[in-house]
Structure 1
Amino acid sequence: MIFFQYLVNGLILGGLYACIAAGFSLVWGVLNIINLLHGSFIVLGFYIAYFSYTALGIHPFLSVVSTAVILGALGYVTQLLIINRVVTRPVLVTLILTFGLELMMNNAMLTSFTADYRKIILDSSLGVAEIADIFIPLDRAASAVIAFLLIFLLWLTLRLTSVGRAIVAVRFDREAALLMGIDVNRTYAITFALGGALAGAAGALISASFPVAPLSGPLFLSKAFVICVLGGVGSVPGAAVGGLIFGLLESFGAVLFGPEYALTLAFIVLIILLLARPHGILGVRGY
C-alpha cells in the first residue's frame, strides 16, 4: 500500500511540475530562447499570491487568475521592448540577456521581500482525504488539477485559435510565417506572455504547498529544464508527461536514495533518455 501512497504523491507533484515547465517549454520551442527569467517569474507569482492572501484575503486558487494576468503582461512587455531586439541573434546572446534580467529581478525581490522563506498557511484548509489507507492532501491535489486544467487550456488555445495557429506556424518555420502575413514580433511577444502567465499561475499554485524565497528561482528553472527536455521542447502535452515523470522520480527517488538525491536521479534519467531519444518523449524529431 505504501507504493500507492508514493504514486499518488508523485502524480500530485507532477501536476505542479508540469505547470512549472509548460510555459518554459513553449517559449523555448517557439522563440528558441532558453528563458532564464522563468524561475524568477514563478517566484514573483508566488509573492503576488502570498501578499494577496495575507493582505487582502484572496485565496491562492483565485490568485491564479491575477498572477497569470500580471506576469503575462510583464512577459509581453519584456519580450516586446527588450528581448525582441536580440531574438534572432545566437542563443548565447539571449541566454546572457535573460540571465542578466534574472539577476536584476532576483536582487529586486531580495530587497523588497527579504531572503526569508515564506508559505501561505490557509485559514480553511481542505484537509486530507483517506482512501484505502492512502492519504491525499486535498489542497495539493486541487492545485494539481488546476495545473492540468491550465495546461489543457493552453493546448486548446494553440490548436483552436488564430493566435495559437500563428504561434505553431512561427515555431516550425519563421520565414514561411512571415510570407503568410503573420506578425512574427507580435507572435513572439504573445508567446512570451503565455509563458509568463503559466509561470505566474504555477507560483500561485505552489504558494499554499511549498515554502519559497526570492532565490528559489534557479531550483524551479532546473526542474523546468529537465521536464522540458524529457517531454520534448515546445510540446505542451510533452510538458505534462515530463512533469508527471519528474514528479514520480522525485517521489520514489526520495524514498530509495534520500530527498537530496531526487534531482540527481532525474538528471540521470534525462541523460539516458537523451541517448535513446534525443528529441524527448513527445518532441518532434529534427526540430
Structure 2
Amino acid sequence: MLYAQILLNGLVLGGLYATIAVGFSLVWGVLNVINILHGSFVVLGSYIAYFSYVHLGIHPYLSIVTAGAVLFVLGYCVQAGLINRVVGAPVLTTLVLTFGLDLIANNGMILAFSADYRSVTLANPLGSAIIGGLVVPLDRLVAMILAILLTGLLYFVLVHSRIGRAIIAVRMDAEAAALMGVKVKRIYAITFGIGALMAGAAGSLLSLVFPISPLNGPEFLGIAFVVCVLGGLGSVAGAVVGGLALGAIQSFGALFFGPQHGLTIAFALLILLLIFKPSGIMGRRGYE
C-alpha cells in the first residue's frame, strides 16, 4: 500500500511536470531554440496566481487564464522583437540570448518581489479523500487534471487548427512552409508565445504545490529538460509520459534515498537514457 501511495503522489506531481515541459519541448522542437527563459516564465505564472488570489480572491485554477494570456503576450513580444533577429544563427547564439534574458527576468523578479518564499494558502481547500485505502490530495489532483487537459488542448490545437498545422509544417521544413505562403517568423513568435502560455499556466497550478520564489526558475528549467529527454522531443504525448515518469521516479527516489536526492536520481537516469535511447521514450521526427 505504501508503494501505491508513493506512485499516486508521483503521478499527480508528474501531470504538472508535463505542463511545464510541453511548452519547452514545443519551442525547442519548432524553433530549435533551447529557451533558458522557460523556468522564469513558470515562476512569473506562479506570481500572477499568488497576487491574483491574495489581492483579488481569484483561485489559482482560474488564474491559468490570466497567467496564460499575460505570458503569451510576453513570449510573443520577446520572440518577435529579439529572438527572431537571431533565430537562424547557430544554437549557441540563441542559447546565450535566452540565458541573458533569463538573468534579466530573474533579477527583475528578485527586485520586484524579493527572494523570499511565498505560498498560496487557500481559504477553503478541498482537503483529501481516501479512495481504496489511498490518501488522495484533492487540490493537487484537480490541478493535475487541469494540467493534463491543457496539454490535451494543445495537442488538439496542433492537429486540428490552421495555426497548429502551420506550426507542424514549420517544424518539419521551414523553407518549404515559407514557399507555401506560411509566414515563418510569425509562426515562430506564436509558437514561442504558446510555449510561454503553457509555462504560465503550469506556474499558476504549481503555486498550489511549490513555494514561490525567483530562485525556483532553474529547478523548473531542469525539470523541463529531463521530461523532454525522457519523453522524447517533438511529442505532446511524450511530454505527458515523461512528466509522469519523472514524477514517479522522484517519488520513489525520495523514498529509497531521501527527499534531497529525488531529482538527482532522475538526472542519473536521464544520463543513462541519453546513452542508450537518446530519442526518449516516444521521440519521433516532427512535432505531432
Q: Which residue of 2 aligns with 1:31?
A: 31
Describe how 1:64-213 pairs up with structure 2 within 5 A: 64-213=64-213
Q: Which moves more between the two structures, 268-277 or 43-52?
A: 268-277
Query: Deviation of residue 285 (structure 1)?
Result: 5.3
**Do 2:168 and 2:286's aligned partners in 1 also have CA atoms closer than 8 Å?**
no
**Do 1:158 and 1:165's aligned partners in 2 also have CA atoms closer than 8 Å?**
yes
**Do 2:30 and 2:188's aligned partners in 1 also have CA atoms closer than 8 Å?**
yes
Q: Which moves more between the two structures, 229-238 or 101-110?
A: 229-238
**Do 1:279 and 1:285's aligned partners in 2 also have CA atoms closer than 8 Å?**
no
Cα distance in 2, alignment partners of residues 218 and 104 from structure 1: 14
Query: Deviation of residue 286 (structure 1)?
Result: 9.6
Cα distance in 2, alignment partners of residues 285 and 45 from structure 1: 31
1:243-265 alpha-carbon deviations (Å, 9 max, x no partner):
00000000111001111111111
Residues 224 and 174 of structure 1, relative CA distance in 2, 3 Å threshold: same
Cα distance in 1, alignment partners of residues 234 and 35 from structure 2: 13
Q: Secondary structure at the match of 1:159?
A: helix
TM-score (norm 1): 0.98
Q: Secondary structure at the match of 2:129?
A: strand
Task: Work out the number of aligned pairs and report it.
Answer: 287
Cα distance in 1, alignment partners of residues 101 and 234 from structure 2: 23
Cα distance in 1, alignment partners of residues 35 and 273 from structure 2: 23
1:141-185 alpha-carbon deviations (Å, 9 max, x no partner):
000000000000000000000100010111111111111111000
Q: Which runs of 5+ in 2 are unaligned?
A: none
Cα distance in 2, alignment partners of residues 12 and 54 from structure 1: 25
Query: Deviation of residue 272 (structure 1)?
Result: 1.7
Q: Which runs of 5+ in 1 are unaligned?
A: none
One-letter amino acid matched to 2:42: I
One-letter amino acid matched to 2:74: L
Q: Secondary structure at the match of 2:130?
A: strand
Residues 206 and 2 of structure 1, relative CA distance in 2, 3 Å threshold: same
Q: Which residue of 2 aligns with 1:235?
A: 235
**Do 2:234 and 2:286's aligned partners in 1 also have CA atoms closer than 8 Å?**
no
CA RMSD of aligned residues (A): 1.1
Q: Which residue of 1 aligns with 2:60?
A: 60
Cα distance in 1, alignment partners of residues 83 and 285 from structure 2: 27
Cα distance in 1, alignment partners of residues 151 and 231 from structure 2: 14
Moved over 4 A (4+): none
TM-score (norm 2): 0.98
Q: Which residue of 1 aligns with 2:284?
A: 284
Cα distance in 1, alignment partners of residues 284 and 31 from structure 2: 16
Identity value in percent: 59
